[in-house]
Amino acid sequence: MQKLLAFSIVIFIGCRKGDKIVPPVVTPVDTATITSPVNGFYLLNEGSMGTNKASLDYYDYNTGLYKKNIYPSVNPTVVKELGDVGNDIQVYGSKLYAVINVSNKVEVMDAATARRIGQIDILSCRYITFANGKAYVSSYAGPVQQDPHSPAGYVAEIDTATLQITNKVTVGYQPEEMAVVNGKLYVANSGGYSVPNYDSTVSVIDLTTFQEIKKIDVAINLNHLKADSDGDIYVTSRGDYYNIPSSLSVIDTKTDAVKKKFDIAASNLCISGDTAYIYSSIFSYLTNTWAVSYNMINVKTETLLSGNFITDGTEKTIKMPYGVAVNPVNKDIFVTDAKDYVSSGTLYCFDKTGKKKWSVTTGDVPGHFAFVLARK
């Protein structure tokens, strides 16, 4: 007598669904403002390096809707989407320019729809700024000077009508953000690849000759650079993460000399009207600790204002502030939280008194804003 026991194991392999274009996540965050002079803004999420997750979000004032990750559905035929590590975004004329660092390109889109127009190939491109129909893009990949393994940086001049590179000028090492004041381009040089021999200069480029006319010695490891409306340049230094602290310096563009240095930590800033909104997230390798702070400076009087531009305590929930922007019309303040840099971030919107209006989930590592103004 045999007692038989039968059992089956079924491995069921379901249909492999098609790999679909990921549609945007649409979140209503605020009431629609039909007559807003600002149509909306783009938020560029960097995405962690190697993940190819640079992504574009758009907030539309006319509908009050926040659309996360709009690029793939608008541009489904672009191979591997927007790219790897979005580093800067700006609107100029009718076009939207996104600097995608590791993808070695500036993605040029229609500012109204984010539809791709073309791309400008620039190795290790970092930031973009504009003047008189030209775009200026900083890049780490300039000509070799002394060290064959550490090339100098350069700035490319691009005709915004043809999207062709028309000129190049060599600047300092690992150049970062730029601004144009009175026909001169100011470039923050970091030297971040030659630790501990950081660069400490701002290159001054005469835009008519496109030659570097001066290097202003400011502080080591420069990063963000913004112009105010009185012809001053504010430039942040990241310090060396050990003994030399982060700081913020002011350059007078009439004399091209440093006229003031604020001994406050400054990771990034946004100047709107007479106020600079500054945050810092500083890490010390000596103590393995962070210090996050928020400050304001009156750029007319060049004085540090007391208090924080976030006034309702929301800053306690922000783990890693990574971007700041101010609506040029209603002065709403936007702060992004990159959290752990490998997960979705959060965008906070505060009114001009620093009270939270809304917040929304963004792509990974949100950091860069471009406002779209209504056409007159």
Partner 1 sequence: MCVLVVLFTTALKAQQRDTAKARELKEVSVIAPKPVREITPGQKMQGKDLSRLNSLSVADAIRFFSGLQVKDYGGIGGLKTVDVRSMGTNQTGVFYDGIQLGNAQNGQVDLGKFSLDNMQEIALYNGQKSNIFQPAKDFGSAAAIYMTSLKPNFNTGESIHLKGTIKTGSFGLFNPSLLWQQKISNKVSASFNTEWTNANGRYKFRSRKDDGYDTTMIRKNGDINALRVEGGLNGVLNGGEWSTKLYYYHSERGLPGFVANNVFRHVDRQWDRNFFVQSSFRKDITPRYSLLLNAKYADDYTRYLAPDTAALYVDNHYHQHELYFSVAQQYALTTWWNLGLSADFQWNKLNADLRDFAYPTRYTTLVAAASAVYFRRFSAQASVLATIVNETVEKKTAATPKREYTPSLFISWQPFTTPAFRLRAFYKRIFRMPTFNDLYYTDIGNSFLNPEFATQYDAGFTWTTTFSNKIEAGIETDAYYNEVTQKIIAVPTVNQFRWTMMNLGLVKIRGIDVKAKANWQINAVGVSTRLTYTFQKAQDYSDPTSGFYKDQIVYIPRHSGSAIIGTDYKKWTANYSLLYTGERYNGKDNVPENYMQPWYTSDFSIGRILQYKRLNIHLTAQVNNLFNQYYDVVLNYPMPGRNYKFIIAVNI
Place of tokens 């004041």: 181
Residue 80 binding partner 1, by CB under 8 A? yes
Residue 149 binding partner 1, by CB under 8 A? yes
In what order do the strands lie in the sheet containing 289-298? 268-272, 275-284, 289-298, 303-305
Residue 316 binding partner 1, by CB under 8 A? no
| CB proximity list for 16: less than 8 A, separation 6 or greater | none
Find the binder of partner 1 among 25, 117, 244, 264 (CB under 8 A): 25
Cβ distance to partner 1 smaller for residue 81 or 315: 81
State residue 147 phi and psi, 5-degree precision.
-80, 120
Find the binder of partner 1 among 118, 274, 285, 330 (CB under 8 A): 285
Residue 104 binding partner 1, by CB under 8 A? yes
Report the sign of the C-alpha dihedral through residues 281, 296, 126, 54, in that order.
positive
Tokens read off for 238:
């990241």
> 299-304 long-range contacts, Cβ below 8 Å, gap at least 24?
299/228, 299/229, 299/230, 299/232, 299/234, 299/271, 299/274, 299/275, 300/230, 300/274, 302/232, 302/250, 302/260, 304/262, 304/264
What count of other Cβ atoms lies within 10 Å of the Cβ of residue 160?
Answer: 18
Place of tokens 């305590």: 313
Find the binder of partner 1 among 19, 209, 243, 376 (CB under 8 A): 19
Site string for partner 1, 238-277 (x = CB under 8 A): x--x-------------------------x----------
Per CB under 8 A, the segment of 20-28, 36-44, 255-263, 299-307 that binds partner 1 is 20-28
Residue 138 binding partner 1, by CB under 8 A? no
Q: Tell me the three state secondary structure of residue 314.
A: helix
| CB proximity list for 193: less than 8 A, separation 6 or greater | 140, 150, 173, 174
Residue 16 binding partner 1, by CB under 8 A? yes
Whether cis (ω within 30° of 0) applies to the bond prior to 196 is: yes
346-371: b or e for each residue (b if 16 or more CB lie within 10 Å)? bbbbbeeebebebbbebbbbbbbbbb
Find the binder of partner 1 among 26, 32, 144, 213 (CB under 8 A): 144
Residues within window 322-361 making contact with partner 1, judged by CB under 8 A: 338-344, 361
> Closest approach of Cβ 187 to partner 1, in Å?
18
Residue 113 binding partner 1, by CB under 8 A? no
Per CB under 8 A, the segment of 116-124, 205-213, 228-236, 302-310 that binds partner 1 is 116-124
Residue 150 binding partner 1, by CB under 8 A? yes
Rg from Cα positions in the chain: 23
The continuous run of DSSP H or E covering 297 comes out as: strand 289-298
Cβ distance to partner 1 smaller for residue 101 or 275: 101
Residue 313 binding partner 1, by CB under 8 A? no
Residue 53 binding partner 1, by CB under 8 A? yes
Residue 31 binding partner 1, by CB under 8 A? no
Per CB under 8 A, the segment of 56-64, 182-190, 225-233, 283-291 that binds partner 1 is 283-291
Asked if 152 contacts 171 with a C-beta cutoff of 8 angstroms, the reply is: yes
Residues within window 205-244 making contact with partner 1, judged by CB under 8 A: 238, 241
> Closest approach of Cβ 124 to partner 1, in Å?
5
Residue 363 binding partner 1, by CB under 8 A? yes
> Closest approach of Cβ 120 to partner 1, in Å?
11
